[in-house]
Structure formats: C-alpha cells, structure tokens
Amino acid sequence: MNLFFYVIKRLAMMVPVIVGASFVCFLLLRLSPVDPARAYLSVSNIVPTEETIAAVRAQLGLDRSFWSQYGHWLWQLCQLDFGTSFFSKLPVARELAARLPITATLALSSLAIAFIVSIPLGIASALRRNRLIDHMSRLLAFLGASIPQFWLAYLFLYFLSVKLDWFPLQGADTWLHYVLPSCTLAFALIATYSRLLRAGLIEGLQEPFVLYARARGLGTFAVVGRHVLRHAIRPVITAAGMNLGKLFAGAVIVEQIFSMPGMGGFFLESVYHRDYPVIQSYVLIMAIAFVIGNLAADVVQAYLDPRLTQTARKGE
Amino acid sequence: MFRKVKQIHISILLVLMISIFLAGCNSKASENTPEPSTVGNPSTTVGDIKTLRLSWPKDIGPLNPHEYTPNEFFAQGMYYEPLIDYGEGGKLVPKLAESWDISEDGKQYTFHLRQNVKFSDGSDFDSSVVQKNFDTILANRDMHSWLGLISQIEKTEAVDAHTFKITLKNRYYPALQEFAVVRPLRFLGAAGFPDDGNTAKGIKSPITTGPWVLSEYKKDDIAVFTRNDNYWGTKPKINTIIIKVIPDGEARVLALEKGDIDLIWGEGVISLDSFVSLRDSGKFETSISDPVASRALIVNTAKGPFADLNVRLALQHAVNKQALVQGVTNNVEKAADTIISSNFPYANVGLKPYDYNLETAKSLLDQAGWKLPDGKTIREKDGKPLEIELVYMGPDQIEKPMAAAIQSDLKQIGVSLKTTGVERELRNKRMETADFDLLFWGTYGAPYDPHSFVSTNYEPGYGIFESQQGLSMKDELHQQMKDVLLTVNEEERQKLYTSIFTTLHEQAVYLPISYLTNIAVYPSYVKDFKFPAHRDETPFDSIDFQK
C-alpha cells in the first residue's frame, strides 16, 4: 500500500514538472532570433515582405500575445491536440503516432540489451576480480565509453550487414532491423552499468550480512542473487531511469544512420524549419519520458528497498 | 547443478521475451512493405520484371504537383509532366503540348495539346483539366511569385478540348522555358483535386499522365512506382522503381556496396570523398554531369570594405579556386570563372577570367588605401583593420571547408576573414537583410537560368538587390535586367545579357567558386544511364538492366 501512495504522489508531482518544461520550451522558442513566419515563407518559396509575414503570422496564430498563444496551446493539449505542423501541414499527433513507437521500441530494446549483458558481466567481474573476465569487462567498458556512437554504427553496418549479411541495412520493419541500432545504443550503457554493478557488488560482498549468509551455508549465487544484487543494482536502476529519457531524445544519429523513421529525424527537420508545434510537442514528450524514466527507476528502487517509501512518508 | 540449469532457462526465457516484444511491436509496421521478392533482394531482375532500387535522403512527400517542400523535386519531376520539356542545350521539346504559337506581340501563347493522352485513372487529358490546374496555381499566385511567368499571367482560356490559350500582361521571353519547370506547372488529374479545387491544402490522390504510377507508399520508409502501361510516350525499359528513404550518405554507400540499391544519383546525396572512393574501387561505374548550377559568394557592395571596387577585385585574385575544388570536392565540382557557366543560354559572352595572383591582389589593396603596417599581419586603413565576415550554412559539408580555405587565402594578402556558420533559417534571414560581407549562395540552374538569375538580382527581398546598392551603375544594370526579360529579338536579348554579365564580372559583385554537378554511381549491369539536361529531372526513363 505504501508503494501505491508513493506512486500516486510521484505521479501528482509530474504535473508541475511537465507544465514547467512546456513553459520553458515555449518561452525559449519565442526568444529565437528567427521568425517562424519567415521560415515558413522561405520553405514555401514566398518572398518575405511585411505583408506576407503579417499574413502568415496571423494564419499561424503568431500575432497573438505570448500568454494567449501559450494558453491556447495548453488548452489544445488538454484535448490531446498537439496542433498542426507548419511544415507538413499534418496533425502533429498523427506524425508522433507513427514515429513514437519506433523510438520507444529502440529505447526499450537498447535498455533491455544493456541489462541482459551488463548484469551477468558485472556479477562475473565482481566475483572474478582481476581475472580474465574482469579484464575483458574493463576493456569493454573502456571501449564503450570511448567509441563514438556513429562510428560503432558504421562498423556494425559494414561487418554485420554488408559483409556477413546477417542483418538488414535500413528500416524498422521487423525485429531484425532493431538489433544493430539497439546494440549500438546499448554498447555505451553496458560499459557504465557493468562497472557500476561491479563496484556495488564488491562493496556489498564486504558487508557483515554476507558473512552471516555464508555462515548459514548459502552458496555464492544465492548470496549474490538474493542479497547483494538487490543493493548493488540500485545505482544501475537510477542510471537506467536517466538513460531512458536520453534514449528517447538522443537516438537521432543512430536513427539517421540506420534509416529508422523515428522521432530523431523528425525533430531535426522541425528545428530547421522552426516548426513550433512539432518542437513544442517533442520537448513535452521528452520531458514526460524523462519524468517517467525517473519515476519507474524510483518505483523499482522502492520495491527493492521498502525503506525508501517509509522515508518518503515520514518526510511528508 | 540444478541452479545453473535454472539460470540458463531464465536467460533463454528473457531472450525469447525480448524477441517476442520486438516482433510484436512491429508486426503492423511490416504490413505495408512491398513483397520480399523485390525489396532487399540482391537480384533486381526477376523473370522479365526489372526493378530499379535507389535511395533518397527524404520521403518523396505527398506528390502534390503544385506545392513545395515537403514534396521532393525529383519525385514531382519523375511523376508529373509539363506542357514543354527542357532538352539538351536548353532546346524546348514538345511534351503534353504537341505544338504552340506565340502571338506577334509576344503576349499570347496558344498550346495545341497532345491528343489521346490519358491520366493514370483513365480520364482524358484535355484543356478543361489544364484550366483546372492553372486555376489553383493562379489562386495561389503569392506562393509562386518567384517564377516570373506566374506573375505575368493575365488570363487563361480553354479554347476547345485540345487548345489552351494563356495571355500575359507583358512580353516575357522566358515563358516557354518556364513551362518546363517541375513545380508548380505540371498537371494533376481532375479526380486528384480536393473538393474546393485548391491544391494548396493538399490533394486527394496523385493522378498523372506520366510514365510512373505510385503503387505502394509508406511515409519515411519506401515508395514503389510501377510503369504506367497506358503511357502515351516511349515506355521506360524498367518495370518498377523502389525508392527507399536513407537519410545518411554513408549508409547509402553501404547499401550500394551490399547490393540493396542499384543507383546513387543526385546532388550532394553522398559525400564527395565517398564518391571518389567508390570510383577508385573499380567496382562501380561513376559519372559526373555537365555544370547544372553555380556556387558563388555574394559580395556586399553596400557596406564595409567591399564598397570599394579595388577590394572586390583583390578578392577575385586572392582566392585559389582550383585548389578549393580539388581539395574540398576532389574535382567533382569544376572551378568557376563566371557566375553563370558558358553552357547556359546567352552566357557564353567571352569574359576574361581573373587569375589567381596574390601580388595583383596585394597591389589592389594598396591602391584602395589598405596598407600593411610594419610588424602586423592585417592591413589597416585610418587605423581600422581590414576585417570581413563570410556567412555560410553551418551544417553544409562543402561550404565549411571552403570557408576555411578562403580564410587562409585571404590571410596571405593581409585580410582577416571571420567565418560564421549559421543554420539555414538564420542564414536566409541574414541574406534577405543583406547582413553580411560575403555569403555563400547558389544559382537556380537549368532550366531557370539565366533569366531567374537576373530576376533575383533586380527584385528586392532576396538580399542580392540590396547587396548591389553600392554600385554606381545599379539603376542602369537593374533596368537592363528587367528589359532583357521583355525582349522578343534574339540579337537584342544577347546584347543585353552580354552587357549584364560584363558589368557583374567587371564590378566583381560575385566571387564565382565552382559549378555544381550531379553525380551517379551504379553497378555495371545498369545500362543507358544519362543525365537529364534539366537539373531537377530524373534519369530513370532511359535506364535498362543487362546482367
């Protein structure tokens, strides 16, 4: 029950954060030196004169006061209407509906791969300190932290798609299309997670309760799996919560290289065109992704360590 | 032992769950893709079916013949047909109009439309549908005002089923050439129009008279065009064209190497380094087109040091263009001596190129009063250093290194060049307000030049007219530019163009850098590849496969 109230409270706290993010984004866009009406005209091949700029400003609703525009946008959002793209003239919601699942799948599959690889790797390198597996894991972490993502993407494409023909080169049609981009994104995460986990496990294995568990006759896997991992994995969960939002927002390069029609390319194009409705919606969705990522991390933390929810309730 | 087996089971279960999750998430996405026998298959000839696969950086767009972005030029060009086509050397060739007459005063154009032409939905191509297309184009005149012809049209009239008459307000010699442009003067079938007839708000479906019909489409992913077997003209030799969206140039190169695509073609679709590497690999055929447009710097004569002709002339002698095109473009672009290449109509006027000569450049700066003080590296005049700014498009892969090379060239003659990379909209704003000393710019190319070039020079709003305000003969020059578009006499027109190009050259208001070209890379089984004369047309109709 404690956990339930904790989640409700955190969900309620999301509202001001998201409204704040929407406001800051709205404000920053309007501080930009380029007038979107002018950008719209240049995209439409119309010579920007005072008259044409005024007409487009009126058409796009940019002639109204800042607060009126912001209020109108919030009101539209309440009705789940994200507005209409200045550029494609299609409803933003429709564009997002086509792209968001691709980016979401990519983000979640990258996280999943990162967990699947880094948990066994972290455990193995903690239990076999300074042995071959630990050195290998260190090397992997070093590579993961230093190899540029775009280069890794090209290496994967060249060797695994062009040379060996194991995976398709471009698109997002089947699960096979997601393997290489997900691995590209997961590579850097594996480096971080496996090292975090290793450090946490090594620290945890020194705790008195481990000695007690061993004294009870529990085997290594039981000690690590049931007791130590529960503590050691917490920093990894926190990092994953942060990364979820980043993966949603920052997969632009990977999406472009693997020709995945996700959110990245769409957002980039909208920035070029000063497509306010798209930029605003994108920032809003990214804010939600960050908040939900952190919330999910906190909920898992609270599940792993119920003391956290108690602290939260006491703090009320 | 039991624990180990249990852990293996858990791992397998996890992998399975992830696989099911990924497959489940995308089952819908794969529904619209073309059949596997054509997509992703290394063989492009299955039985008698010849499929050309290529990629493009962006989605083809909604295939609206009367609109601009997000409609892609090449897709509109391959899909819809004009009244008149632009052929080799600028020769105008009949297309949907079999012939045309021009009245003596040069204001009335009567088109005799080709008979027995059907749209892809089976409807007839006749003057009523031509009228319907012109109605929507003229209803959105503002949007098309960049095209001189549109602002000149006074009225249009369907004389009979196959005769269509257009009356202009004034004589306008490039009218015929402009009927060949890709947008907005191409024809959509009547059933493709929205209910209110205004295509600016979108079309119902892309109905064409052209050789290709859109048969499958998934936005931002793939477009499949099938040969229109009822096409009135010479039918293409290939049956299907598949266009995949690959935004990244290097990924496009890998797709060609893997055999996923059969052709890379266009301007700037891959890096020029990649082009050279593919050419040198010996595995592919490569070709470079004739110049299709020019890359130049606009020199702002209205303010700063470039208000002085000698400083502008010094710039012409100080930049090593040959080194620029070799170093930055691997000679894929050609060094330019004049703002419009001499293979364009009226542009072969025998101008003497400025040679690369640092001593001449230094002497011109001395004459202009910009002297190099002892112990300093930057010239000064009245205590003020010779500092200028070059604005370029930040993300552009060519402009940035070229800007750096020009900076280094100018340093040798004691000029401090500040290079400012800005993104597209900011660059457009700075151009339109003439807020620059030097700015990278490109001409329209064929079939728009040289007439579109002159109109962007005399019309305020683009920033070029504004940048020429420092010229003492600007009024006369701009009047000549207006007059040349009204000429009916070839000799008089050539005389005016010669005078215009000579003035622009002598006054050094542009620094021509290079001529842009189209590139093509394809495996040897792709035959009969030929670059179209028109910058925005596609080469697909002539291509054949021979394996």
Cα A123 to Cα A194: distance, rounded to the nearest angstrom: 8
Q: What is the mean pLDDT of residues A148-159?
A: 92
Lowest mean pLDDT of A283-287, B166-170, B521-525, name the range.
A283-287
Q: Which of A29, A84, A170 to mutate to test the interface with B (most CBs of B within 10 A)?
A: A170
Give mean pLDDT, residues B8-32.
43
Q: Model confidence over B400-416: pLDDT tens digits? A: 999 999 999 999 999 99
Give the gap in angstroms from C-alpha B143 to the nearest C-alpha of chain A: 5
**Hey, are the CB atoms on A272 and B461 less than 8 Å from each other?**
no
* Of A249, A242, A236, residue with least CA distance to A104: A249
pLDDT for residue A247: 86
- All residues of chain A having their beta carbon less than 8 Å from the beta carbon of residue B146 are 45-47
Query: Measured between CB atoms, does B220 come within 8 Å of chain A?
Result: yes
Do A168 and B255 touch, CB atoms closer than 8 A?
Answer: no
How does residue A117 score in pLDDT terms, banded at 50, 70 and 90? Answer: very high
Q: What is the pLDDT of residue B535?
A: 86
Length of chain A measured in residues: 316
Closest alpha carbon to B428 in A74, A151, A46, A102: A46
Query: B26 vs A49: CB contact, 8 Å cut-off?
Result: no
Q: Do residues B71 and B56 make contact, with C-beta atoms less than 8 angstroms apart?
A: no
- Class at the top of the CATH hierarchy for domain A101-272: mainly alpha
Distance CA B108, CA B61 (A): 35
Contact yes or no for B251 and A34 at CB 8 A: no
CB proximity list for B275: less than 8 A, separation 6 or greater: B286, B330, B332, B519, B521
Locate A298 and state its tokens: 């906190």
Q: Where are the domains of chain A?
A: 101-272
Cα(B246)–Cα(B60) distance, integer angstroms: 12
pLDDT of amino acid B513: 97
To the nearest 10 degrees (0 to 180), the angle between helices A92-127 and A175-205 is: 40
* Nearest Cβ partner for A158 among B146, B254, B429: B254
Report pTM.
Answer: 0.83
Residue A147's contacts (CB-CB under 8 Å, 6 or more residues apart) are A187, A188
- Using a CB-CB cut-off of 8 Å, the residues of chain A touching B33 are 173
CB contact under 8 A, A177 and B26: yes
Q: Cβ(B320)–Cβ(B430) under 8 Å?
A: no
In degrees, rounded to 5, the angle at the alpha carbon of residue B453 between the alpha carbons of residues B448 and B457 is 150
Instruction: Please indicate whether, in this complex, the C-beta atoms of A89 and B201 are within 8 angstroms of each other.
Output: yes
Question: Would you call B70 and A161 a contact, using CB atoms and an 8 Å cutoff?
Answer: no
Do A222 and A228 contact (CB within 8 A), yes or no?
no
Cis peptide before B450 (omega within 30 of 0): yes
Per-residue confidence at B43, pLDDT binned at 50, 70, 90? very low
Flag if A105 and B22 touch (Cβ within 8 Å).
Answer: yes
Question: Contact B293/B287 with Cβ under 8 angstroms?
Answer: no
Q: Which of A45, A94, A113, A183 best tests the B interface by mutation, with the highest count of B CBs <10 A?
A: A45
Tokens 């404690």 locate to A2
Q: Rounded to an integer, what distance in angstroms lies between the CA atom of residue B20 and that of residue B42?
A: 28
pLDDT band at B447 (very low <50, low <70, confident <90, very high): confident
Q: How far is CA B190 from the centre of its chain?
A: 29
* Chain A nearest-CA residue for B429: A34
What pLDDT is attached to residue B22?
Answer: 42
DSSP state of B540: G
B55 has a pLDDT exceeding 80 = yes
C-alpha A215/C-alpha A200 separation (Å) is 22
pLDDT beyond 50 at B434: yes
CA dist B323 and A168 (Å) reads 40
**Mean pLDDT, chain A, integer:** 85
Phi/psi at A279 (nearest 5 deg)?
-60, -45
CB contact, 8 Å: B7 with chain A?
yes
- In sequence order, which residues have a C-beta less than 8 Å from that of residue B511 and are 6 or more positions away? B296, B297, B299, B315, B316, B319, B438
Yes or no, beta carbons of A47 and B68 under 8 Å apart? no
Model pLDDT, residue A290: 87
Q: Which DSSP category does B201 fall into?
A: G
What single-letter amino acid sits at B132?
Answer: K
Q: Would you state the pLDDT for residue A198?
A: 92
Task: Tell me the DSSP string of B385-396.
Answer: E-EEEEEEETT-
Q: Do B146 and A168 touch (CB under 8 A)?
A: no
> Which site among A87, A94, A156, A175 would you substitute to test the B interface, given the most B Cβ atoms closer than 10 Å to its Cβ?
A175
Distance from CA of A181 to the nearest CA of B (A): 13
Segment A298-304 shows an average pLDDT of 83
pLDDT of residue A314: 53
Which pLDDT score is estimated for A1? 57
Cis peptide before B184 (omega within 30 of 0): yes
Instruction: Check B462 against A47: CB less than 8 A apart.
Output: yes
Residue A251 has what pLDDT?
Answer: 82
Q: Report the distance separating Cα B65 and Cα A196, nearest Å.
A: 57
Name the B residues in 63-122 with CB < 8 Å from any A CB.
Answer: 68-70
Contact (CB<8Å) B18/A109: yes
Joined together, the tokens standing for residue B528 give 């009969």
Q: Which residues of A touch B21 (CB under 8 A)?
A: 108-109, 112
Q: Does the beta-carbon distance from A170 to B201 stay under 8 Å?
A: no
Instruction: Give the DSSP per-residue string, A191-224.
Output: HHHHHHHHHHHHHHHTSHHHHHHHHTT--HHHII
Query: Do residue B426 and residue A175 have CB atoms under 8 angstroms apart?
Result: no
Read off the pLDDT band of B229 (50, 70, 90): confident
Q: Does B260 touch chain A (CB under 8 A)?
A: yes
Distance, CA of A269 to CA of B50 (rounded, Å): 34
**Out of A164-178, B18-32, B346-360, least confident range:** B18-32
Residue of chain B with shortest Cα separation from A182? B22
Q: Are B207 and B188 in contact (CB under 8 A)?
A: yes
Of all residues in chain B, the percent with pLDDT exceeding 70 is 91
Considering chain A, what percentage of its residues have pLDDT values greater than 70?
95
CB contacts of B258 in chain A (<8 Å) are 161-162, 165, 169
Q: What angle do CA A95, A96, A101 make, to 5 degrees?
A: 120
Q: Which residues of B touch A157 (CB under 8 A)?
A: 251, 254
CA distances from B545 to A247, B41, B44 (A): 43, 15, 9
A25 pLDDT band (50/70/90 cuts)? Answer: confident
Taking residues B182-187, report their average pLDDT.
Answer: 92
CB of A12 closer than 8 Å to CB of A315: no
Average of pLDDT values for B111-137? Answer: 95
Look up tokens 């009024």; give the residue: B475
pLDDT, one tens digit per residue, over B248-305 is 999 999 999 999 999 999 988 898 889 999 999 999 999 999 888 999 999 999 999 9
pLDDT for the residue numbered B45: 62
What is the number of CB-based contacts under 8 A between chain A and chain B? 133
pLDDT at residue B477 tops 90? yes
Q: Give the per-residue pLDDT at A37.
A: 82
Q: Amino acid letter at B434? A: A
Question: What pLDDT does A286 receive?
Answer: 87
- Per-residue burial over B239-255, b if 16 or more Cβ lie within 10 Å, else e, is bbbbbbbbbbbbbbbbb
Distance CA B446, CA A300 (A): 63
Do A46 and B15 lie within an 8 Å CB cutoff? no
CA dihedral (B337, B338, B340, B346) positive or negative = negative
* B495 vs B491: CA distance, rounded Å: 6
Asked if A178 and B30 come within 8 Å (Cβ–Cβ), the reply is no
Flag whether pLDDT at A295 surpasses 70: yes
Measured between CA atoms, how close is A150 to chain B, in angstroms? Answer: 11
CB contact under 8 A, B29 and A33: no
* Average pLDDT score over residue span A74-80: 85
Which pLDDT band, with edges at 50, 70 and 90, does B47 fall under? low
Q: Can you say how many angstroms the Cα of residue B154 is from the centroid of all Cα atoms in its chain? A: 29
| pLDDT band (50, 70, 90) for residue B37 | very low
Question: Could you tell me how many helices (H) and strands (E) chain A has, helices first?
Answer: 16, 0
Spatial separation of the C-alpha atoms in residues A172 and B220, rounded to whole Å: 10
Q: Which of A206, A204, A208, A207 has its CA nearest to residue A233?
A: A204
CB B398 within 8 A of CB B440: no
Q: What is the mean pLDDT of residues A149-178?
A: 91
Residue B123, token pair as written in the block:
């409807």
- Is B15 an interface residue toward A (CB < 8 Å)? yes
Question: Quick check: A162 and B258 in contact, CB under 8 A?
Answer: yes
Closest in B18, B26, B244 to A112, CB measured: B18
Strand partners, B153: B168
- How far away is chain B from the Cα of A165, in angstroms, using its nearest Cα? 8
**Does the distance separating the beta carbons of A38 and B428 come in below 8 Å?**
yes
Q: Is the pLDDT of residue A152 over 70?
A: yes
How much helix, strand and coil, in percent to the nearest 5, is found in chain B? 35, 20, 45
CA distance B433 to B467: 9
Phi, psi of B521, rounded to the nearest 5 degrees:
-135, 130
Q: What is the pLDDT confidence band of residue B18, given thresholds at 50, 70 and 90? A: very low
Q: Check if B426 contacts A (Cβ < 8 Å).
A: yes
Contact B25 A219 (CB under 8 A): no
pLDDT for residue B9 is more than 70: no
CA distance B258 to chain A (A): 5
The torsion angles phi and psi of A153, rounded to 5 degrees, stand at -60, -45
How does residue B496 score in pLDDT terms, banded at 50, 70 and 90? very high
B251 shares contact with chain A (CB less than 8 Å): yes
Chain B (460-499) residues lying within 8 Å, Cβ to Cβ, of chain A: 461-462
When mean pLDDT is compared across A176-180, B89-93, B94-98, B507-511, the lowest value belongs to B89-93
Identify which of B144, B145, B146, B168 has the alpha carbon closest to the alpha carbon of residue B156. Answer: B168
Whether residue B219 lies within 8 A of chain A, CB to CB, comes out as yes
Q: Do A47 and B145 touch (CB under 8 A)?
A: yes
CB neighbour list of residue A116: distance below 8 Å, 6 or more residues apart: B11, B14, B15, B18
CB B384 within 8 A of CB B532: no
Q: What is the pLDDT of residue A222?
A: 81
pLDDT in the model for residue B514: 96
What is the distance in angstroms between the Cα of B142 and the nearest Cα belonging to chain A? 6
| B 228-247 residues inside an 8 A Cβ radius of A | 244-247
Element (H or E) spanning A235, and its range?
A: helix A234-250
Output phi, psi for A63, to 5 deg.
-85, -5
List pLDDT tens digits, range A184-198: 999 989 999 999 999
CB B188 within 8 Å of CB B133 = yes
Block residue for tokens 């960050």: A290
Query: How close, in Å, is residue B161 to chain A by CA atoms?
Result: 33
- Structure confidence at residue A45 (pLDDT): 61
Q: Give residue for tokens 């030196």.
A: A33
Query: ipTM, 2 decimals?
Result: 0.81
CA-based nearest residue in chain A for residue B66:
A44
